[in-house]
């Protein structure tokens, strides 16, 4: 069980850092499984449940322990099998022992069945997953209570389901196809054991972590029985086991050539050409030397294809390809036309390798490359067109929004003008009322007289 410990001096350094870490106590997390067990296989048969698991415990890729029991009874009705970290499985068994003890303390004549235990394990695994401290196991729980057979599984992150046959680890890939083909609900005990042994034998052949020492648990209405460890009969005399590299060796064939793993080299016409910026004399000389070497080698071969062409004749026709193509002005001071750069009339394009053509500037052009470039260009143009269409639609939508906003602005302006007119009218009324009040004040003073009467 990989442990990551943090805290201590780091947590005590500052209160803020202590709050950030969550606790001053050391925190422990499962980072990597150290000692692990491999597959567990379980099936339903006519009278109950059968579970099978080997007894190997791998320390990384080293088969360290060979007596690890990974099938354990849970109460009176269930058996659990575990793949993954052995120490985490021991922790799970401690949880289950406490659960069964608490259930027995009630002494009510009832006991937990396999479905209740499976639901409990699902909650435990999901809870530990949410705390980022998972129990690194895949569990299979089978049992029978009141005539109801139950077989379920739960992963290290709480994924759970029920089925008629289950497997964990490598068995989920190698044993489940066998179970789907051969399982049926009317299997007898002997047939079920034989089917489980077949699955475990396949896992022994294919899984490096498996060992030839297994246990089979039987759960019926009468009780739980876990067999003693025993080994399977295996057969290792296959030719592929004895000499695994025999089929991969190279085999010689006629003509001095070799075939490697079913593939033979394909002879193709050699094309030698360099940059057109080099001088004509240098290019012609190097090309002739390069073309003469394969010509000499091909003359040594006794069996030469009938449709092969002469490199010497071809090299003469290819000389024009490596001439300097620097722009040359004619008598009028103008550059020559494109037609003057085409190959001579007596040039035979059929002598060139299939799939190659002569371009307007006397360059070898691969038809497939040109076609792929054309397709890429068309796809790019279509993509640009789609982008332009999308931008046009966005512009139209923006124009409609702008028009709507302009209408709203005109409406707001008209409302504002109405409010301003109403304010002006109210101001005029207030002014008139103030004038009327001022005119009435002198009249009242005259009516009172000098004595105030």
Is 282 noted as a catalytic residue in this protein?
A: no
Q: What sections of 183-250 are H helices per DSSP?
A: 189-206, 239-242
Distance, in Å, from the CA atom of 40 to the CA atom of 34, rounded to the nearest integer, reads 18
What tokens were used for 192? Answer: 């079920």
Which residues lie across from 81 on neighbouring strands?
A: 71, 140
Residue-level pLDDT at 367: 62
Residue-level pLDDT at 264: 41
| Most distant CA pair in the chain, distance | 156
Angle between helices 311-318 and 280-300 (to 10 degrees): 170
164, burial (CB in 10 Å: exposed 0-12, middle 13-18, buried 19+): middle
| Overall size of the chain counted in residues | 453
- With beta carbons less than 8 A apart as the criterion, state whether 134 and 156 touch: yes
Strand order in the sheet with 40-45: 165-167, 40-45, 48-54, 214-220, 223-226
Distance of CA 122 to the CA centre of its chain: 26
Angle between helices 86-105 and 114-130 (to 10 degrees): 130
Distance of CA 188 to the CA centre of its chain: 42
Residue-level pLDDT at 10: 37
- In angstroms, the Cα distances linking 179 to 42, 53, 313 are 10, 15, 69
pLDDT along the chain (453 residues), means of 10: 43 41 53 91 97 96 93 96 96 96 91 96 96 94 96 96 96 96 95 97 93 96 96 86 65 45 42 46 52 51 45 48 47 54 52 52 59 83 90 92 92 93 93 88 62 55
Answering whether pTM is above 0.85, one says no
Ordered by start, the domain boundaries in the chain are 35-226, 368-431
At residue 325, φ and ψ (nearest 5 deg) are: -115, 30
- Identify the CATH assignment for 35-226 out of 3.60.20.10, 3.30.565.10, 3.40.640.10, 3.40.50.1240: 3.60.20.10
Q: What sections of 4-66 are H helices per DSSP?
A: 9-13, 15-21
Which residue in 14, 30, 284, 351 is the catalytic one? 30
Q: Any idea which residue has 């303390």 for tokens?
A: 105
Residue-level pLDDT at 27: 54
Distance, in Å, from the CA atom of 420 to the CA atom of 287, rounded to the nearest integer, reads 93
Distance, in Å, from the CA atom of 391 to the CA atom of 381, rounded to the nearest integer, reads 15
Q: Considering only CA atoms, which of 280, 259, 160, 208 is closest in space to residue 56?
A: 208
At residue 242, φ and ψ (nearest 5 deg) are: -70, -45
């Amino acid at each position: 069980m990989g442990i990551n410990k943090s805290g201590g001096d780091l947590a005590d350094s500052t209160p803020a850092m202590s709050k950030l870490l969550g606790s001053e106590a050391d925190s422990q997390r499962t980072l990597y499984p150290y000692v692990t067990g491999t597959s567990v296989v379980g099936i339903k048969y006519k009278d109950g449940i059968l579970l099978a698991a080997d007894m190997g415990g791998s320390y990384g890729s080293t088969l360290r322990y060979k007596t690890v029991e990974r099938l354990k009874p849970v109460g009176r009705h269930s058996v659990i099998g575990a793949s993954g970290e052995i120490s985490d499985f021991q922790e799970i068994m401690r949880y289950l022992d406490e659960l069964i003890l608490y259930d027995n303390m009630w002494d009510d004549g009832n006991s937990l069945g396999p479905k209740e235990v499976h639901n409990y394990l699902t909650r435990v695994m999901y809870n530990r997953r949410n705390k980022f401290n998972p129990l690194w196991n895949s569990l299979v729980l089978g049992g029978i209570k009141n005539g109801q057979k139950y077989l379920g599984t739960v992963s290290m992150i709480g994924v759970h389901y029920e089925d008629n046959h289950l497997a964990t680890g490598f068995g989920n890939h190698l044993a489940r196809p066998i179970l789907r083909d051969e399982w049926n609900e009317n299997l007898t005990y002997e047939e079920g054991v034989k089917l489980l042994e077949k699955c475990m034998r396949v896992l022994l052949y294919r899984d490096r972590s498996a060992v030839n020492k297994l246990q089979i648990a039987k759960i019926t209405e009468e009780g739980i029985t876990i067999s003693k460890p025993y080994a399977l009969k295996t057969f290792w005399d296959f030719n592929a086991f004895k000499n695994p590299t025999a089929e991969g060796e190279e085999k010689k064939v006629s003509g001095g050539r070799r075939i490697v793993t079913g593939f033979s080299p394909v002879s193709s016409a050699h094309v030698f050409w360099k940059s057109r910026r080099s001088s004509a004399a240098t290019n012609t000389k190097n090309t002739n030397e390069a073309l003469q070497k394969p010509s000499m080698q091909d003359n040594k071969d006794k069996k030469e294809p009938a449709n092969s062409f002469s490199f010497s004749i071809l090299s003469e026709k290819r000389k024009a390809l490596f001439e300097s193509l620097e722009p040359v002005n004619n008598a009028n001071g103008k550059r020559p036309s494109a037609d003057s750069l085409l190959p001579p009339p007596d040039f035979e394009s059929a002598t060139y390798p299939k799939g190659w053509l002569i371009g307007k500037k006397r360059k070898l052009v691969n038809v497939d490359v040109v076609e792929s470039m054309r397709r890429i260009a068309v796809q790019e143009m279509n993509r640009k067109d789609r982008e332009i269409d999308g931008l046009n639609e966005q512009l139209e939508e923006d124009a409609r929004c702008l028009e709507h906003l302009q209408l709203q602005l005109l409406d707001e302006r008209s409302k504002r003008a109405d409010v301003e007119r109403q304010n002006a009218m109210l101001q005029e009324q207030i002014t008139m009322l103030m004038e009327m009040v001022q005119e009435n004040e002198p009249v009242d003073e005259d009516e009172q007289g000098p004595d105030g009467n």
